[in-house]
Amino acid sequence: MRCASIVFFGLVFLGLANVRSEDTSASSGKQSPMLFELRTYTAEPGKLNDLHARFRDHTIRLFEKHGMVNLVYGVPADTPDTLVYLLAHKDRESAEKSWAAFRNDPEWQAAYKKSHENGPLVKKAEAVYFTPTDYSPVKAATKAKSKPEGEPRLYELRIYTTNEGKLANLNARFRDHTIKLFEKHGMKNDVYGVPTEEKTKDNTLVYFVIHKDKAAADKSWADFQNDPDWKAARDASEKDGKILVPGGVKRWYLTPTDYSPVK
């Protein structure tokens, strides 16, 4: 997944239909705040398996030790040497404390050093924080549950960039029409989020949907795009101008790794 053009986007709760918040406020009874962090690592050539091994044997356990919640780890279908994963934090302050504690952990430092004996594993690392939209199916999560055994999943990450002042229109279209039509045509809505970054918080929507496999994804999208209700909603939402910039849709299909908490 080549993210150079979208370093600034924010992200999303990923394929966690069975995830619920178990962290509540004693005074209000409301769900705690939640911040999601999407990280994309481009591995050095030939080093992706070593990177997987480090995560499998050390990293995910140490993340949990220091208060980060592992959600999904996936590999883009068409991009070699890339790992994409999603973490959850209570808020940005918690995230920064967790990362500091993790990096200073002697066990992590030893694992990192050993994994570098034959050279570095990661060529490029990118991190993006996002908060869920009001219509996101799940707005907070502290634990992840996997799918039933034997049930395949393919995650699709989509990033939309809007024209100036049009993000509210896009959110309204998703809230009132799109997410219902996705479900109608066999796509499972996961999380919908907007960036916390100043540059993109007013023009970017990031979301994930789940498919059984690529063939199911192709059929769902074809049926959706040909649905008269979708065409009517799209046209009505754009009566005052196009919502998305030219080329404003990016997408990647992600297959969960063997160590991903949610597969």
Count of alpha carbons within 13 angstroms of residue 153, beta-carbon side: 29
**pLDDT given at position 149:** 53
**pLDDT given at position 188:** 94
More confident residue, 21 or 126: 126
Q: Is the pLDDT of residue 93 over 70?
A: yes
**pLDDT given at position 147:** 53
- Answer yes or no: are the C-beta atoms of 157 and 251 closer than 8 Å: yes
- Answer yes or no: are the C-beta atoms of 45 and 81 closer than 8 Å: yes
Q: Is the pLDDT of residue 121 over 70?
A: yes
CA gap 242, 130 in Å, rounded:
25
Q: Is the pLDDT of residue 2 over 80?
A: no
Q: What is the pLDDT of residues 7-61, one digit of tens each?
A: 323 333 343 433 333 333 333 334 445 888 989 999 999 999 999 999 999 999 9
Count of alpha carbons within 13 angstroms of residue 144, beta-carbon side: 22
- Answer yes or no: are the C-beta atoms of 121 and 47 closer than 8 Å: yes
More confident residue, 144 or 235: 235
Domains of the chain, CATH where assigned: 4-256 (3.30.70.100)
Output the six-digit token pair for 172: 């309204």
The three state secondary structure string of 75-90 is EECCCCCEEEEEEEEC
Q: Report helix, strand or coil for 168.
A: helix
Q: What is the average pLDDT score of the chain?
A: 85
- Amino acid letter, residue 137: P
- Answer yes or no: are the C-beta atoms of 15 and 210 closer than 8 Å: yes
pTM for this predicted structure: 0.81
Helix axes 106-115, 92-103, angle to 10 degrees: 70
**pLDDT given at position 128:** 85
**pLDDT given at position 203:** 96
Q: What is the pLDDT of residues 129-140, one digit of tens each?
A: 899 999 998 665
Per-residue confidence at 83, pLDDT binned at 50, 70, 90?
very high
Share of the chain above pLDDT 90, in %: 68
Per-residue confidence at 218, pLDDT binned at 50, 70, 90?
very high
